[in-house]
Structure 1
Amino acid sequence: MVSKVKRLLIGRPMKSDELDHEKLSKFKALAVLSSDALSSVAYGTEQILIVLMVAGFSAVWYSIPISVAVLGLLAILILSYRQTIFAYPKGGGAYIVAKENLGVPVGLMAGGSLLVDYILTVAVSASAGTDALTSAFPFLHDYSVAIAITVILILTIINLRGVTEAASFIAIPVYLFVVSIFVLIISGVFKYATGDVHAAIPELGSAVSNISLFLLLKAFSSGCSALTGVEAVSNAIPNFKQPAEKNAAKTLVMMGLILGAMFIGISLLAYWYGVTPDPKVTVVSQISQSVFGRGFLYYAIQGVTALILFLAANTAYSAFPLLSFMLAKDKFMPHMFMVRGDRLGFSNGIIILGVLASVLVAAFHGDTGSLIPLYAVGVFIPFTLSQLGMMIHWYKTKPSAWIQRFVVNTIGMITTLSITLIFIFTKFSHIWMVFIFLPLVMLLFMRIHRHYVNTADQLRIQLDVDKPTIKGSTFLVPVSGITRVVLNSISYARSLSDNVVAVYIGFDEEEIQKMEQKWAEWNPGVRLIVLRSRYRSVVKPLIRFIETVEWKTASTDHITIVIPQFITKHWWQNILHNQSSLLIRTFLVNHKDIVITTVPYHLNK
């Protein structure tokens, strides 16, 4: 039943040699890897306006120069990450760049920041999409958390079906969103140019009495949330068709051009139409209503905006599993993140991402405003480390024209470091938990790595010294009575060795006498050892006996515990029986270096 449901949800298993068919073309990669960055135009301008409104409506004109500054930063990041793509064509982005040029701890900081950011990407996208949906249909406002978690579940299932299938599903809504936003911008500009807009707005450059540099920097840092997701292309180079690095670089540039045009267009329309933030109606919703009214085009734009905000999470679903794979390959994350699933994707990474994002949405009650500061600072830390790492890379390798490349990354590093510091100083009350959580993530990475190193050291053998030791075998069979289960286990043990001993643990003398009498009558050719347990414990007397046998036979015999166990026909029937065999097995596995064998006997009624 479970297998059938799995096949229905994620499709047939794929062969390993089908992996090349899962590579992305530029057209599909732009949709999958740019959905996060492109969708941020739906809330980037809004985040700027929310901050500026503290100084009053007269301060909203500052949104234009701030948006231009954000565009400048976008251009720097696109140029910087384009260089990273060609320098590190195997992907990994900030994690690989920082690890190789700044050291492992700094690489882990970049990798940990990105992993946290990808979790936040899914949570923010689901929450922002829900906000867009509830703006058009206010009666859904009370169900925001349930809607967001449902969308995360759907996206998780879609991505478990494979990269190519997910890309095919996402491409149409993403490009539909891009077209609809450009239709909105062109229509809005035309309506403004023809004098059909009569909003009372402050003039550019007009004096604002209570504005401060601190407020402007805070607004700028908020607007930089529109740049999240820019690094995803450099992380996911292995997902591109060959030549992977050239296709990735072209995709990155195209994403930057589209994002820049849409962002500045929405900012200009918001200013010209006198739009102010409203907790229940998004800025894009207000612009759409001003341009088209509450007609078909308004609901169409709201629909595709909600859809793209939901699908923006897919950028994280593409990048998180790949980054987890690279960290796991370096022994900083569990090896399960290296395993490809039935559809050749890193299924464990996809599932874990969905679960953690759902927990985050529930914890923050789907409040996008509370999540975005965490989301943005989680991006700008690896932005900065990546640029610094690339500066060191160019200085060490000194390829042709390295000075120009060094200058580009230097400008990028200084800019992103400035944004990071602005975030820290202006939004510390929102992001302080990052400075607790990120060191804990790095500590977890180091502990995992230490475990893998210690395990390898203990398991490693010297090929010219360590040889198999040939010993005899002593088989101990714990029994609770004379049944077909015991018969089955003793038969198995005797087929391997003549040195077999049955062990019975009795709680009172009457039971012990009956067992000894029945055993003598049965006479299976195996000696019965009776252990008396005054405190009705099964495990402790058995352990003491095993230790005694170990002490006597350690140099001559391997000790094997043969555990009889019957398997019920239906799962619920297990509840009706004591699971002493499982208890014994669990305890022995965790405490003794001996062989443990379970001999099952299946009931058919």
Structure 2
Amino acid sequence: MWRTIKRLLIGRPLKSNEAHSQKLNKLKALAVLSSDALSSVAYGPEQILIVLITAGSLALWYSLPIAFFVLVLLVALVLSYRQIIFAYPQGGGAYMVAKENLGVNFGLVAGGSLLVDYILTVAVSVSAGTDAITSAFPALHQHGVLVAVAIVIVITVLNLRGLTDSATLLAYPVYFFVLMIVIVIGVGIFESVTGQISPVHTHASLGTPVMGVGLFLLLRAFSSGCSALTGVEAISNAIPSFKDPAPKNAAKTLLMMGAILAILFSGIVYLSYWFGLRPLSDQTILSQLGGTLFGRSILYYLIQISTALILVLAANTGYSAFPLLAFNLARDKYMPRPFKVRGDRLGYSNGIITLGSLSIVLIIIFHGETELLIPLYAVGVFIPFSLSQTGMIFRWIKQRPKGWVSKLITNFIGALICYLILIIFFVTKFTQIWPVLVFIPIVVLGFHKIHEHYLLVAEQLRLDLHKPIKAIHSTDNIIVVPIAGITKVVEQSLIYAKSLSGNVVAVYVGDSPEAIEKMEREWNEWNSGIRLVTLHSLYRSIVSPLDRFIDTVKWKADQRGATVTVVFPQFYTAKWWQRLLHNQSGVLIKASLTRHSDVVIATVPYHFKK
């Protein structure tokens, strides 16, 4: 039943040699990996205005020079990540750059920040999209958390189907949003030039002096506007997802994403200034702009629908980048090995499921109101931005390839701006982002603990191939078979035990003298030819008496140089739900016996047919 449901939701398993079919072309990759960055057009310009309006409406003209410097940083980041794509074609982005050029700890800080940021991306984006949906359908408002969880589950299932399936479906809403914003910008610029639509409010002329506007306020507005740059790094993390030549296709996709983001962002900022729009508590800047240009027409509602869709689908960037970043960390033994395993559809399913699960946990904890997470979301991405820029600076200084000076200058400018933004974040929003100083060290410590475990395991499993196998002079192999009665399962296990050794002991643990007497009588009647040992359990526990018996047998076996093997009879039901009708005493016994370092544990399965 479960297998049938899985096939319906995810599709047929793909062969390993079909991996090429799951690679993305540039147009699909642009939609899947740029949805987070492009969705920021819906709130990035507004974040600038929200800060500036505190100094009065006259201060809103500062949004234009601030947007210019945001675009300068965007150019620096795009050029830097383009260099990273060619320098690290295996993917990993900021993690790989920082680890190789700055050291392991800096790499883990970058990787940990991005992993957490992708989880926040899904939670924040889906919650924002849910708010838009529940605003359009007020009856769903009280079920907002349930709606958000359902959306995460749907996106998770889509991504489990594989990159091409999810990209094919999710590309339409992304390009629909881009088309609608291009229409808004095109019509808005035409109307501003022709003057056919009057501004909502009169805008201040460029250069108008405004009381109360200082460097600190401008820097706050700039850092808030830089939230439009989240998701720029995703393409560099997902290079292996591109069709060959992967680095070249990824680099072109990054340039396309940067160009589209620059046009949409600058267009919205310019029109917001020209029409004198001010941030409102009950209406977004995009909504005001659409209403000003088109009224409450079909185009206005299409803009709102496309905005809600892109906010929801911004989560898909996390689903594309998180599993690949987790794979790179797991390959370096800093995350659990299951993150390296491909699923039925050749995607890294464990990473996809983990991302969806943790996002749902965040949504439930914060009841779908994730506004408090947005500052963490922003600062979480600028930490790897800063480290990747710094890492590339060190790379150019060390290697000094042809044209390295211009590349160094690009990264230096990018690093300078990124560190400035981080400083502004910590100065102006410390009360909201201080958890970063707690959870990032915890995440990095977790990476080190995982790495230490894998190193210790490797050390203990390492074999010297030049040494012959150590000869073991065992006088006998003592086989212990725990039994709960005389059944076909027990018979099958005893036959197997006798094939291993002539020294087989069956052990029965009874909770009363009557039960023990009955077992001894039936055993003698059966005449199996195998010795039976009965143990009385005063406290009705099977595990403890059997454990003590094994200790005794093991001690005697050590004196003779013998090996002790415990053979467990184990039956398996025909239906999964039937397992719930039986106790799990065998599991408890095995768990107890694992503390014995030199006891061999074997299971003889018996499968029921009905």
CA distance in 1, matches of 2:468, 2:462: 10
CA distance in 1, matches of 2:193, 2:175: 27
1:576 deviates by 4.5
- Taking structure 1 as reference, are residues 589 and 215 closer, same or farther at Cα in structure 2, changes over 3 Å only? same
- Structure 1: segments with no counterpart, 5+ residues: none
Conserved in 1, the CA contact under 8 Å of 2:71 and 2:262? yes
Conserved in 2, the CA contact under 8 Å of 1:329 and 1:335? yes
> Which residue does 2:494 correspond to in 1?
490
Listed as ranges, the matches of 1:219-298 within 5 Å are 219-298=221-300
Partner residue of 2:365 out of 363, 366, 376? 363
1:577 deviates by 4.0
Matched, 1:517 2:517: no
> Which residue does 2:599 correspond to in 1?
594
CA distance in 2, matches of 1:459, 1:465: 14
> Which residue does 2:76 correspond to in 1?
76
- Taking structure 1 as reference, are residues 576 and 29 closer, same or farther at Cα in structure 2, changes over 3 Å only? closer
1:211 deviates by 3.1
Conserved in 1, the CA contact under 8 Å of 2:203 and 2:274? no
Moved more, 307-316 or 135-144: 135-144
> Which residue does 2:391 correspond to in 1?
389
> Which residue does 2:483 correspond to in 1?
479
CA distance in 2, matches of 1:361, 1:382: 24
1:368 deviates by 4.8
1:94 deviates by 0.5
> Which residue does 2:167 correspond to in 1?
167
1:573 deviates by 4.6
Q: What letter is aligned with 1:197?
A: S
> Which residue does 1:552 correspond to in 2?
556
Listed as ranges, the matches of 1:393-432 within 5 Å are 393-432=395-434
> Which residue does 1:114 correspond to in 2?
114
> Which residue does 2:541 correspond to in 1?
537
Listed as ranges, the matches of 1:95-134 within 5 Å are 95-134=95-134
- Taking structure 1 as reference, are residues 544 and 139 closer, same or farther at Cα in structure 2, changes over 3 Å only? closer
Matched, 1:433 2:464: no
CA distance in 2, matches of 1:576, 1:372: 48
DSSP 3-state at the match of 2:8: helix
CA distance in 2, matches of 1:604, 1:6: 24
CA distance in 1, matches of 2:217, 2:47: 13
Partner residue of 2:352 out of 350, 353, 362? 350
Q: What letter is aligned with 1:560?
A: T
> Which residue does 2:157 correspond to in 1?
157
- Per-residue CA deviations over 1:330-355 (Å, capped at 9, x if unaligned) read 00000000000111110110111111
DSSP 3-state at the match of 1:294: coil
Q: What letter is aligned with 2:568?
A: I
TM-score by length of 1: 0.95
1:35 deviates by 1.3
DSSP 3-state at the match of 1:467: coil
CA distance in 2, matches of 1:285, 1:182: 15
Conserved in 2, the CA contact under 8 Å of 1:324 and 1:337? yes
Moved more, 19-28 or 379-388: 19-28
Aligned length: 605
Conserved in 2, the CA contact under 8 Å of 1:132 and 1:281? no
- Per-residue CA deviations over 1:487-529 (Å, capped at 9, x if unaligned) read 2322221233211101122333333333323322222100111
CA distance in 1, matches of 2:509, 2:392: 68
| Percent of matched pairs sharing the same residue | 59
1:432 deviates by 1.0
- Taking structure 1 as reference, are residues 184 and 454 closer, same or farther at Cα in structure 2, changes over 3 Å only? same
CA distance in 2, matches of 1:501, 1:455: 34
> Which residue does 1:21 correspond to in 2?
21
Conserved in 1, the CA contact under 8 Å of 2:201 and 2:277? no
1:591 deviates by 4.8
Q: What letter is aligned with 2:497?
A: A
- Structure 2: segments with no counterpart, 5+ residues: none
Q: What letter is aligned with 1:585?
A: K
DSSP 3-state at the match of 1:278: coil
CA distance in 2, matches of 1:591, 1:301: 67
Give RMSD over aligned pairs. 2.0
Q: What letter is aligned with 1:115?
A: L
Matched, 1:148 2:153: no
Conserved in 2, the CA contact under 8 Å of 1:131 and 1:282? no
Q: What letter is aligned with 1:583?
A: L
CA distance in 2, matches of 1:135, 1:481: 65
Conserved in 1, the CA contact under 8 Å of 2:126 and 2:152? yes
Listed as ranges, the matches of 1:320-335 within 5 Å are 320-335=322-337
- Taking structure 1 as reference, are residues 145 and 59 closer, same or farther at Cα in structure 2, changes over 3 Å only? farther
CA distance in 1, matches of 2:577, 2:342: 33
- Taking structure 1 as reference, are residues 259 and 368 closer, same or farther at Cα in structure 2, changes over 3 Å only? farther
> Which residue does 1:449 correspond to in 2?
451
- Per-residue CA deviations over 1:554-602 (Å, capped at 9, x if unaligned) read 3633221122234445555545544322221222235554222233344
Conserved in 1, the CA contact under 8 Å of 2:234 and 2:321? yes
- Taking structure 1 as reference, are residues 466 and 420 closer, same or farther at Cα in structure 2, changes over 3 Å only? farther
> Which residue does 2:531 correspond to in 1?
527
CA distance in 2, matches of 1:522, 1:441: 60
CA distance in 1, matches of 2:139, 2:510: 67
- Taking structure 1 as reference, are residues 513 and 144 closer, same or farther at Cα in structure 2, changes over 3 Å only? closer
CA distance in 1, matches of 2:89, 2:607: 55
DSSP 3-state at the match of 2:480: strand
Q: What letter is aligned with 2:160?
A: L
Moved more, 12-21 or 58-67: 58-67
DSSP 3-state at the match of 2:594: helix
CA distance in 1, matches of 2:264, 2:378: 19
CA distance in 2, matches of 1:227, 1:318: 17
> Which residue does 1:500 correspond to in 2?
504
Q: What letter is aligned with 2:523?
A: W
1:41 deviates by 0.2
CA distance in 2, matches of 1:413, 1:150: 39
Moved more, 233-242 or 379-388: 233-242
1:543 deviates by 1.4
CA distance in 2, matches of 1:368, 1:506: 57
Q: What letter is aligned with 1:526?
A: I
Matched, 1:201 2:202: yes
Q: What letter is aligned with 1:276?
A: R
Conserved in 2, the CA contact under 8 Å of 1:560 and 1:594? yes
Moved more, 22-31 or 200-209: 200-209
DSSP 3-state at the match of 2:604: strand
- Taking structure 1 as reference, are residues 388 and 505 closer, same or farther at Cα in structure 2, changes over 3 Å only? same
- Taking structure 1 as reference, are residues 50 and 73 closer, same or farther at Cα in structure 2, changes over 3 Å only? same
1:406 deviates by 1.2
1:479 deviates by 2.0
CA distance in 2, matches of 1:25, 1:574: 47
Listed as ranges, the matches of 1:555-566 within 5 Å are 556-566=561-571
- Per-residue CA deviations over 1:313-333 (Å, capped at 9, x if unaligned) read 111111111110000000000
Moved more, 500-509 or 77-86: 500-509
Listed as ranges, the matches of 1:3-18 within 5 Å are 3-18=3-18
Conserved in 2, the CA contact under 8 Å of 1:76 and 1:408? yes
Conserved in 1, the CA contact under 8 Å of 2:160 and 2:345? yes
Conserved in 2, the CA contact under 8 Å of 1:90 and 1:238? yes
